[in-house]
Amino acid sequence: MMKRSPSFDEFDDLFARMSRQLEEMSRQFDAPRPFGHETAIDLREDSESFVAVVDLPGFDREDIDLSVADRLLTIEAVREESTDTGNEHGSEEHYVRRERRSDSVRRSLRLPADVRADDASATYNNGVLTVILPKLLVEDDEASHHIDVE
38-137 maps to CATH 2.60.40.790 = yes
| 134 touches 119 (CB < 8 A) | yes
pLDDT in tens, the chain (150 residues): 556 566 767 877 887 788 777 777 665 554 445 444 568 899 999 999 999 999 998 889 999 999 999 899 999 999 877 655 554 555 556 777 766 777 888 999 999 999 999 999 999 999 999 999 999 986 644 555 555 675
**Sequence-ordered list of residues with C-beta below 8 angstroms from that of 135, at least 6 positions apart, any chain:** 48, 49, 50, 113, 114, 115, 116
Sequence ranges of the domains in the chain? 38-137
Whole-structure pTM over 0.85, yes or no?
Answer: no
Residues ≥6 apart with Cβ < 8 Å to 129? 52, 53, 54, 55, 56, 64, 75, 122, 123
